[in-house]
Structure 1
Amino acid sequence: MNTGPLFKHGGILAAFAIVTTGLIALTFQGTKDRIAEQVLAKRLAILNEVIPTTMHDNALYTDCIVVQSEQLGGQQSVYRSRLNGEVNGMAIEATAKNGYSGDIDMIVGVDSAMQVKGVRVLQHKETPGLGDKVELSVSDWILSFNEQTYTPSNRALWRVKKDGGQFDQFTGATITPRAVVNTVADTLEYAQKNWDQLATTASNCEGAS
């Protein structure tokens, strides 16, 4: 029985399979790398929106620590802003657990005087046309936090107007802005109480130096 052609074709198929698998692996890795680069670029852009570039001379993305806090909604990242080596601001991630349609992930930029430099929603599932007004691309409502200063004595103002505070709610949608305002206030309170520890803990985020 002549098995030469069979082995020959089998070898060709095996080689083809190896090459194909290698190409798929390379393509997957290339796609994975591009996605990671896109995620990094987006996060860097958001960090520069909530912490002005004039406030820091360090790399915010790598000057980062991971914290666990119920007040922040679980495990979160904190990015430190430094000027001439001194921590003068932080961008703190937080999650509102009481959104209308689920969790609302956000990031709060604040300086050492507890003045808000910017707030951005990172992810949510709120209703289009109603709760999604927390997004800057939909409404400028999120900008109402800018330059507002938090102190323990003015905590009562950090509510929507319907609850006696200073921040507008949305027409037909109070739950979402209430959740965001309360979480921003909780984040600022957390920052104030833990500032020194947050400022001095060694960077421990993935990719931090």
Structure 2
Amino acid sequence: MLAFTLVFTGLMAGTYEATREPIARSAAAEQLRLINEVLPPASYDNTLLNDVRTLGATPELGLPKGGRIWRARKNGQPVALVFEAIAPDGYAGAIKLVIAVGADGRVGGVRVTDHHETPGLGDYIDPKKDKNKASPWVEQFVGKTLATLPLERWKVKKDGGEFNYRTGATISPRAVTNAVARAVQYASTQRDALYQ
């Protein structure tokens, strides 16, 4: 039994060592692919995954346990911040997001990375599940800034704001819209500190 345990442990350790690096490369590639959905790769020239800042608890972004911000730069100058954020108030729980905010305060893109919203009803917040492939719901944030759209207008139209929603599914877009507004405001107030 002891010999079996030693051989099995050795095999497991060997398998772990053999697969650790390929798994890490695959995870990094997937992370970069997701970031590049909200921030065009040609807009920055730094090694984005290495220019990351780890945040402690950041309630402004819905991150009670903290999260990460990637800092995009071109020729050493700030281009954009890519935030992890959570909308805690989705219909079926937390909605995880990645949001790019340019150095000029413009939203570069928004992607839902995880949610449990009702299939066929509230899941259109995720462009992969949105039936409108020509103009996915999340694309309406792109280009918006606090300078052109005051914070009080960062709401769905049902609540007197600027952003569309689909009838029968207001809670999910309301949660995402509020999370994006908080991220844009956080980027605006913390910009200089976040790029350091």
TM-score computed with the length of structure 1 as normaliser: 0.83
- Which stretches of structure 1, 4 residues or more, deviate above 6 A after TM superposition? none
The worse-fitting range, judged by mean Cα deviation, of 168-177 and 18-27 is 18-27
2:148 matches 1:159 = no
What corresponds to 1:57 in structure 2?
45
1:99-121 Cα offsets, whole Å, 9 max, x none, are 11111110110111111111111
Asked if the contact 1:159/1:181 (under 8 Å) is kept, the reply is yes
Please tell me whether residue 148 in structure 1 is matched to residue 131 in structure 2: no
Question: Percent of aligned positions with the same letter in both sequences?
Answer: 40
AA matched with 2:161: G
Aligned pairs, number:
188
One-letter amino acid of the counterpart of residue 25, structure 2: E
Q: Which residue is equivalent to 1:185? A: 181
The normalised TM-score by structure 2 is 0.88
Letter in 2 for 1:131: G
The residue number in structure 1 matching 2:117 is 126
User: Higher Cα Rg: structure 1 or 2?
Assistant: 1
Does structure 2 retain, via aligned residues, the 8 Å contact 1:73–1:94? Answer: yes
- 1:91 has 2:91 as partner: no
- For residue 92 of structure 2, the aligned residue among 90, 101, 105 is 101
Judge conservation of contact 2:145–2:184 (CA < 8 Å) in 1: no
Q: Give yes or no for the alignment of 1:69 onto 2:58.
A: yes
Aligned counterpart, 1:174: 170
- Root-mean-square deviation (CA), in Å? 1.8
Q: Is the 8 A contact 1:51 1:118 kept in 2?
A: yes
Aligned to 2:127: 136
Ranges in structure 1 where 5+ consecutive residues have no aligned partner: 1-12, 201-209
| Secondary structure in structure 1 of the residue aligned to 2:61 | coil
